Amino acid sequence: MIRSHAPLAARSGSSTQRGFSLVEALIALVVLSIGMLGIAALYVEGLRSSRAALVRTDAVNLATDMADRIRTNRDAGASYEGAAAEAPNDDCMSGGAGCSPADMAAHDLRVWTDALEAALPDGAGDIDHVDASPTDNTPAVFTITVSWTEPGQGTLAYVSRVEI
């Protein structure tokens, strides 16, 4: 009995496939690569957003810190609108014994300015003061502005208003 062998193409038929072609594998690789690039872009955007949120949190904390300093040293008034001391005052470091309210305000401004410059990119601060008016029964108002530069957004500012 002699068996004849049919050609391979005739045996396999045209309706069945036996594996992936090289083109299909390359297309799958391209689709996977695009997906991975999308994931990497999302990761980078998440890092950028968390950095911006951290800087904004620092700005709010620094403005609150100055508001607390003003509330503690109520007698200084307009001295907080003045110039910061050249260096932190040693007399004002230990609870303020031997330190006048104006000296304490200048010391607070120096410490605050140094903290702004250290914590924020191009960090700066400004304080505006409006005296209390006994005739109108209005309190003294301090407007604390903290500004910084954020990449891609320019200069941003946080403004806090304190009434004493």
In this predicted model, what pLDDT tens digit does every residue of 83-140 receive, in sequence order?
Answer: 888 888 888 887 667 788 999 999 999 999 999 999 999 999 999 999 888 888 889 9
Cα separation, 111 vs 125, whole angstroms: 12
Q: How far is CA 34 from the centre of its chain?
A: 30
Q: Number of folded domains in the chain? A: 1
Contact, 99 vs 89, CB < 8 A?
A: yes
Q: Is residue 6 domain-resident? A: no
Note the pTM of the prediction, 2 decimals: 0.75
Residue with tokens 């999302």: 42
Q: Is residue 81 domain-resident? A: yes
In this predicted model, what pLDDT tens digit does every residue of 29-83 receive, in sequence order?
Answer: 999 999 999 999 999 999 988 989 999 999 999 999 999 999 999 899 889 988 8
Q: Is residue 5 domain-resident? A: no
